[in-house]
Structure formats: C-alpha cells, structure tokens
Amino acid sequence: MKNLEDIMAMAQNVQAELEKAQASLDTIEVEGVSGGGLVKVRASAKGRIIGVDIDESLLAPSEKGIVEDLVAAALNDARARADAASSAEMSKLTAGMPLPPGFKLPF
C-alpha cells in the first residue's frame, strides 16, 4: 500500500500548489486595449476588472456607440490576456507532471 500512500501524498501536494497558483492569479495584472489605446481595461489574470481608462477625446455624446464598442473590445482583450496569463501560470505548476495530453487543471 506504500504506492497508494505516495499517490495520495502527491495529490495533496498538487492540491496545495494549485490553491497557491489560483491565489497568485489575482495578483497578476493584464491590460486590454482597443481603439489604438483610446480605451484601456486593467484586469487580474483571474478576470477581475481593476480599472477602465477612456481617452477624453471619446467623451462626446455623438461618440456613445463607438465608446461602447471600444469598451467591449477592451474588456474582451483583457479577458483574453487574463486567460493567457492564467494558462502560463498553470503550465508552470504542471511542468514535469506526467499528465496526459489535453489534461487541464483545475479539474
């Protein structure tokens, strides 16, 4: 049964490391940009929106539709960057682990 004990210990270690990695994702900051930098959205790698910056030149009533589109685009860009940062952090955690291809953490 020593083998089973080793597997259980390894699983507990992986769980602890996964929890640490998840916690650290909220400290990694990414920035989504649209409109050539006129709209910027800061987010954590966990996807929490930290801030939005809109260039003053867009703050005219006639620009409302454009601003809405640019904010949505910047949010989507920030989300994509957050996903990439999250994947990079998780791959560091799983490096060297004998996981099957396509297997993703967290479960």
The pLDDT, as a whole number, for residue 101 is: 59
Distance of CA 2 to the CA centre of its chain: 38
Q: Spell out the residues 6+ positions from residue 46 whose beta carbon is closer than 8 angstroms to its own.
A: 22, 25, 26, 82, 86
Task: Give φ, ψ of 57 to 5 degrees.
Answer: -65, -20
Find out whether 58 and 97 touch, Cβ atoms under 8 Å. no
The pLDDT, as a whole number, for residue 70 is: 92
Along the chain (107 residues), what's the average pLDDT of each consecutive run of 10 residues?
75 80 83 93 87 90 90 91 85 66 54
* C-alpha–C-alpha distance, residues 54 and 70, integer Å: 9
The pLDDT, as a whole number, for residue 17 is: 79
- Give me the amino acid identity at 65: G
The CA distances from residue 95 to 40, 44, 91, 105, in Å, are 33, 23, 6, 12
Q: Domains of the chain by range and CATH?
A: 2-94 (3.30.1310.10)
The pLDDT, as a whole number, for residue 107 is: 44
